[in-house]
Amino acid sequence: ATASYEGADAIMLSAEAAAGSYPVQAVTMMNSVAEEVEGDETYRAIIEASRKIKRDTVADAIVHAARELAETANVAAICCFTHSGTTASLVSRERPTVPIIALPPFPETARRLSLSWGMPCATTGTVARFKMAVVKAARIAREMGLAAVDDQIVVTAGVPFNVSGTTNILRVAPCDESLIFSAEPG
């Protein structure tokens, strides 16, 4: 419980608890404790009070703005296209109240990011155009059950695509693909 209250990205069993006679029950209990903590009304206040705002780079400013937008504009999720995993990790650091979906091109990056706070992952392969990235993010958010067709998502990415360290785009987008295509021809 203390690790959850302190904002730990992940919790795990160690030593005897992991190798003991009841590993499934131990994980079930640990999950129950984490869900109880995250449902506690003081949990969010503690997380907010411990957030350190860092705006040293464009990427820092983008992820801070993504959290602010998501919480202000009633957005269903923040979708982060990330090559190395850094952008998604920065969003996780912000501890938004909405889910974060990491969208790396590589399974290795997705596996590493899956241990970060509040972040399911889906590998995307390489993406060449921002419009198609937005469409892919909307599809994945709906497929994961984190957004409905009438919701909006925040999408972060970097252009040029498939290059680490280029986070420079933030967009609020509809989850309805027809609206994405009608808004931007081509």
CB-based contacts of 179, cutoff 8 Å, min separation 6: none
Statement: residue 157 has pLDDT above 70: yes
Confidence of residue 1 (pLDDT cuts 50, 70, 90): confident
Enter the pTM of the model: 0.84
Confidence of residue 19 (pLDDT cuts 50, 70, 90): confident
Statement: residue 186 has pLDDT above 60: no
- Let me know the angle formed at the C-alpha of 73 by 42 and 103, rounded to the nearest 5 degrees: 85
Statement: residue 185 has pLDDT above 70: no
pLDDT, tens only, 85-101: 999 999 998 889 899 99
DSSP 134: H
| Residue that wins the pLDDT comparison between 166 and 145 | 145
**Bridge partners for 80 per DSSP:** 102, 156
Confidence of residue 184 (pLDDT cuts 50, 70, 90): low
Residues 101, 120: Cα–Cα separation, whole Å: 5
The confidence score (pLDDT) of residue 163 equals 81
Confidence of residue 141 (pLDDT cuts 50, 70, 90): very high
Statement: residue 79 has pLDDT above 70: yes
Arithmetic mean of pLDDT, 4-20: 79
Arithmetic mean of pLDDT, 136-151: 96
Candidates 48, 80, 83; CA nearest to 63 is 80
Q: Are strands 167-174 and 152-158 parallel, antiparallel or unpaired?
A: antiparallel
Statement: residue 55 has pLDDT above 80: no
